[in-house]
A and B are shown apart, each in its own frame.
Chain A
Amino acid sequence: MSVTLWLILGAVVALGFYFAATKMKLTWYEWVLAVLGTILILFAIQNYSASQLELEPRAAGLLLLIFGLPGVILAAVGFVLPFLRAKKAA
């Protein structure tokens, strides 16, 4: 994955966290889940793209699944819970 793409991805993640910090009220455990989830997703993306470069498509797919799926679940829980809470409060 090129440096430019990582830069864009970094900007998206930074914007996401900025939005979460300013517009959403996350509890400490939601922050933990969101950060852990994001790290796992980034790890999955790096391993997927690097394994494709390594000409190992099977490893690429499996690493994306192994790290990406729990990452998405954790991040989703971390970011969705505050939404549900806000909706309930409204």
Chain B
Amino acid sequence: MALGCGGGSANAGDTDTDSAGTDGSDSSPGTDATGTDSDTDGETDSDTDDPTPEGFVPPPGGMRKLTTREYISSVELMLGDAAATAAIPPDDIAQEGFDAVGAAILALPADTIELYERSATAVADAVVTDPSTIQGYVPCVEEGANAACYREVATTIGRLAYRRTLSQDEIEALAAIGAAGQQWADDGSFMTGLRYQLMGILQAPSFLYIQEVGEVDDDTGFRRLTGTELATRVSFFLTGHTPTLELLDAAESGALDDPDELRTMAEAMVANPEARTALESFFAEAYRLRSLAEAPKNAELFPNFTPELGEMMKNETLLLLYDIVWDRDADFRELFNARHTYVNDQLAELYGIDSPGSGELYTRVDWPANQRRAGYTSQASFLTWQSGPRRNSPTKRGLYIQERILCNEIPPPDPSVELDLPDGEGLTLKELLEMHLENPGCASCHGLTDPLGFAFENYDAVGAFRTEDNGLPIETDGEVAGIGMWTDAEQLGDILAADPRTGDCLIENFMRGSLGQTPTDDTHPAVVDLGLEFADSGYSVQSLLVDMVAHPLFRLVDEPK
């Protein structure tokens, strides 16, 4: 455990004393077994792949639908800003808390096909209105162009869209759509034909679904992603969009088969500003920042909560992440115990701290010691989203920590549970909910969530500081088996930052949020292995992104599902 605490975090060092539960935690069974060998391999490999961790079975191969943001950013890369703005793909349906998981497992309801046609039409209309981006790829595109130009569009735009080189038959089929469109137009317009051709490309399953099937790999017995499949996965993971022509060239030349070259390429992509946008999308989903502006809050109880304030809360968390990941390349786990945050005047007022006097601009400030705050779980974004419209929800706050910060699964309640809480007259919320904990049926789940949530009772349902609940003093101390014992939110933040599951859970959240995979016992050895590499890097997220790309978890799949 000591390994991670020195990784650039100024305040993670004092946690061991308070976190008895984290030592020898039973949640990281792979640590002992794999600790010694994979540590060094990760550092020294030169022209060989990372070894496949013992017991690891990769997630199944198959196909996953583009998420809306992958669809839109691909359209932007291929066809330009106006086309991306015009794109109206159907909404994502999240599963396991992430859009990409839904995109990997759900079949499309019938009427969604029409929505994709409508989006394709809107994008194609935008392109014929402003063809400047497509002209950058295919210079022959202009009104009056020769029908041969449809072949060039199919070859190049088709390749970007399908993330592979098209067969001659595919090129001819797409060119034929363009020619038929041109013939249909009264004035024989090339651009009308282009419009229908683009509609065809954008409705093609080859565009809408990412294929990750691979080829059988004799070394491991699993399937290794092909060059273009790997390029596609890397590109969406690190840039958020379809691979560029250069990346496809590299993939088709076999360059990505060389682990060193792959790492070098990934490092360059992480250094590109696009990686920051892609990672921000991931964080916004993982930390429930996307809908903060619409968080339902009772207007009488929280007259200060507005959609604008919700946006500011989102910015605050993203700024802390940006500070940790990009500005300082620091220990990721500071996200859960940082003693500083970023506020503008309005957020400072919400928190009851001295106004920075910076107006709309955000300034780095230290949390006041008396508020006992630390990290994301003390920020208004978490406290607001994981609350009800009228009052706090220690259950929700605790459940989120268990499921999304530590990646522990909480079982559903026993169906025989009778849940009839008395009204809260003369009780704090904590006292009321503690009645759950006296009923064995309730306590099996609530005992794992509510005590964590009680640590944040000093903060109300929009994150403001308070010292009383229902006129009674607040108690924030608590204990959960397997996590530890704390006196307040600041100490709990240190415990979360020191917990070995916190780093592994980020990796599992990347699997869900970026790759659409569901972590299982079979994938756990790989997560533990990567978690050790993450620890070795001092929990640098920038390093983790590169390590993930090079890891068998990223490059291998099992039989297609």
A joins B in a complex: no
